């Protein structure tokens, strides 16, 4: 932590404590994203700050005894710092990007609220701000997202028209829990009532949502869907592909555990939880695949390719 970071926080802390009298130490630390010990440090710095001249009556007053006894903060004698400083460009841009990411998952009236909030923030940040980054997530239609969010709010089970990674259509009945983004794609996290297990559904592959009128039921908390979520699936198996250089795009579009440059191409380690997904990936890569390890992992795709070739007359 640098002095600049601390001063930037102090300039917001002083107005915050004046507009939230008797604020609790832990809550305040959480608002500012720091540990309570750091916030105590901040208060000790403020204790020596005040109007120029440094006479006793000029200093900001904090009742440190009350802080120690009850964890409540009362700060006075700083009316001249009753409003926070403007956003720094980094703060403004980080907040705008975050809101735009929320926007990509939202639908309907919520989306309108985000648009108007963004417009207000942009006005408040002034002309100093660089053009804010655009954010685009592949998250299907706003209508589907709104239907899902409504069903989540109503705790109601839904039937989906869905096309999975293995490209087979299905109509799962699910208890929808939340909409999330991961690596630029929007997903529905839901309890599959057919399979009695947690599942994620890519929003752009949901073709329709039908309300069932059935209660969603309580299935606990869904598993964390963080970076490397695939690795937590116990049924995931590691497969290594050796590929021609022209297939290097896959490292940017698929979750890859490791990439190695090898003679005449690359070698990638993938975690495969769904054999249908690997089958369609190998079919898509075609001649770009040099070898597959373990070799039996290629069998499904080979069979499927042979079946497809039978539909084409010889020659």
Partner 1 sequence: MSTRKSERIMNLAICLLMARRFIEKTQIRQVVEGYHDLSDAAFERTFERDKDELRAMGVPVETGSNNPLFPDEVGYRIRRKDFELPAIEFTPSETAALGLAATVWESATQAEQAVSALAKLRAAGVDPDPGRLGALAPSIGAREPAFASIWAATLERAPVRFGYRGTPRRVEPWAMTYRRGAWYLLGQDRDRQAPRMFKVARVDAAAERIGKPGSYRVPDVDLEAAWRSLEPRQPDSEAVLALRPGRAPDLRRRGRPVAADGVPAGYEAWAVSYSRAADVVGEICAHGADVVVLSPQRLRRAVVTELSATAGRAS
d(CA 70, CA 66): 6
Does 232 bind partner 1 (CB under 8 A)? Our answer is: no
Does 85 bind partner 1 (CB under 8 A)? Our answer is: yes
Between helix 89-105 and helix 108-125 the angle, nearest 10°, is 170
Does 56 bind partner 1 (CB under 8 A)? Our answer is: no
* Residue with Cβ nearer partner 1 (181 or 198): 181
* Residue with Cβ nearer partner 1 (104 or 193): 104
Whether 266 and 260 have beta carbons less than 8 Å apart is answered as yes
| Distance of closest approach, residue 80 Cβ to partner 1, in angstroms | 6
Whether 25 and 39 have beta carbons less than 8 Å apart is answered as yes
Residue 206 DSSP label? E
* Residue with Cβ nearer partner 1 (7 or 64): 7
Whether 75 and 18 have beta carbons less than 8 Å apart is answered as yes
The sign of the dihedral angle between the CA atoms of 285, 290, 292, 296 is: positive
Does 306 bind partner 1 (CB under 8 A)? Our answer is: yes
CA dihedral 162, 163, 168, 173 (to 10 degrees): -20
| Distance of closest approach, residue 71 Cβ to partner 1, in angstroms | 19
Of 174-182, 192-200, 235-243, 256-264, the segment contacting partner 1 by CB under 8 A is 174-182
Q: Which of residues 25-54 bind partner 1 (CB under 8 A)?
A: 31-33, 41, 44-46, 48-54
Whether 39 and 20 have beta carbons less than 8 Å apart is answered as no
Of 62-70, 190-198, 212-220, 277-285, the segment contacting partner 1 by CB under 8 A is 277-285
* Residue with Cβ nearer partner 1 (193 or 206): 206
Among 35, 37, 68, 167, binds partner 1 (CB under 8 A): 167
Does 74 bind partner 1 (CB under 8 A)? Our answer is: no
Residue 199 DSSP label? E
């Amino acid at each position: 932590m640098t002095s600049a970071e601390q001063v930037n926080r102090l300039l917001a802390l002083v107005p915050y404590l004046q507009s939230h009298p008797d604020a609790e130490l832990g809550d305040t630390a959480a608002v500012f994203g720091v540990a309570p010990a750091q916030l105590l440090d901040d208060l000790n710095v403020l204790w020596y700050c005040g109007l120029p001249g440094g006479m006793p009556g000029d200093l900001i007053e904090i009742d440190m005894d009350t802080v120690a006894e009850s964890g409540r903060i009362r700060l006075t004698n700083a009316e001249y710092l009753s409003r926070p400083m403007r956003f720094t460009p980094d703060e403004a841009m980080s907040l705008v990007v975050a809101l735009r990411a929320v926007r990509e998952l939202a639908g309907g009236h919520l989306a309108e609220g985000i648009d108007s909030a963004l417009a207000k923030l942009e006005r408040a940040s002034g002309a100093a701000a660089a053009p804010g980054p655009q954010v685009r997530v592949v998250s299907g239609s706003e209508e589907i997202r709104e239907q899902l969010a409504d069903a989540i709010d109503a705790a109601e089970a839904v039937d989906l028209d869905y096309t999975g990674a293995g490209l087979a259509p299905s109509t799962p009945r699910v208890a929808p829990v939340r909409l999330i983004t991961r690596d630029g794609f929007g997903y529905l996290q839901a309890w599959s009532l057919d399979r009695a297990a947690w599942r994620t559904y890519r929003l752009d592959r949901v073709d329709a949502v039908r309300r069932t009128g059935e209660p969603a039921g309580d299935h606990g908390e869904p598993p964390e869907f963080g970076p490397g979520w695939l690795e937590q699936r116990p049924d995931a198996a590691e497969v290594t592909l050796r590929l021609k250089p022209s297939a290097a795009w896959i490292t940017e579009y698929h979750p890859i555990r490791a990439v190695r440059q090898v003679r005449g191409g690359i070698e990638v380690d993938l975690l495969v939880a769904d054999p249908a997904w690997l089958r369609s990936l190998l079919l898509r890569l075609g001649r770009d695949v040099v070898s597959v390890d373990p070799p039996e992992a290629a069998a499904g795709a080979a069979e499927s390719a042979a079946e497809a070739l039978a539909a084409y007359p010889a020659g």
